[in-house]
Amino acid sequence: MFLIDRIKHQLHQDIVADPVLHARVLNLYLCGEAYPHAVNDYFPVAAVRDPDLAEAMRQHQADEDKHIALYAKAIQKLGEPVQQLPPEHIFNHVIRQHSAETWHVEPEMADDQRTRRVASFLAHAHILEKRVARSLEYHLEACNRAADPYPAKAVAAVLGDEQRHVSYTHDAVFHLLPRAEAAALLRSHERAEARANLDFSSNQLRRLLREETQHWPTARRGFYRACAAVMRGVLHCA
């Protein structure tokens, strides 16, 4: 784990050191924030009975929209445009491809089935938020050493919100379902994340090495290509 940790530190430092690479990676985070607007089964607030949970979900949704604006401003300050990316470059879409669970709520569903789907959405969101928060911790550390203070300010604000999202979504799953069922649901979403992480990270690393070759440090391009190949290999063996 220590080695993986060191590689991630170096990777985020290399990304932040180059404005084009930095903008491309901030764009990946931005597309994840915008994903709820591209689908019809995120934040199923209408199916939530508990008014406190419904309010927390509405606040969560508003936070994600605020994050879109923060990332867009950071990308603009780096002198780069915000890019629309196809679904296969958006982590939320990739994790959905690997997920055995669904969270789509249908109006004709019985109450307990609706509750189970709401819990499934919150479990999906919890696992996603946890991954994003982990990634942002590495990214923030690199941004703190950058010349322009704005990306660090934006990423720190996003990270604070994501940590809150990690916590309430976890509690809500256990509030909605019996303990064993909640734990099993979270484990299922965790398995999807583990596969999606290898799939998404290897693809994006390969793509950015190919599309933005000149922006990576010459000395580490080969090493990062090898890292992407190892992640692909692990995914196919898992």
- Chain contacts with Fe ion (rule: CB under 5 A): 33, 64, 67, 129, 162, 165
Instruction: State the minimum distance, in angstroms, from the CB of residue 122 to Fe ion.
Output: 12
Interacting residues of 236 by C-beta distance below 8 A, sequence separation 6+: none
Nearer to Fe ion, 161 or 199 (CB): 161
Residue with tokens 């990690």: 166
Instruction: State the minimum distance, in angstroms, from the CB of residue 162 to Fe ion.
Output: 5
Distance CA 182, CA 117 (A): 12
Estimate the crossing angle of helix 111-143 against helix 2-17, to 10 degrees: 70
Q: Are 138 and 6 in contact (CB under 8 A)?
A: no
Nearer to Fe ion, 14 or 33 (CB): 33
Nearer to Fe ion, 72 or 231 (CB): 72
Instruction: State the minimum distance, in angstroms, from the CB of residue 108 to Fe ion.
Output: 30
Residue 105 φ then ψ, to 5°: -95, 125
Q: Are 118 and 44 in contact (CB under 8 A)?
A: yes
Nearer to Fe ion, 119 or 132 (CB): 132
Instruction: State the minimum distance, in angstroms, from the CB of residue 76 to Fe ion.
Output: 18
Instruction: State the minimum distance, in angstroms, from the CB of residue 164 to Fe ion.
Output: 8
Nearer to Fe ion, 63 or 212 (CB): 63
**Cβ atoms within 10 Å of 189's Cβ, excluding its own:** 26
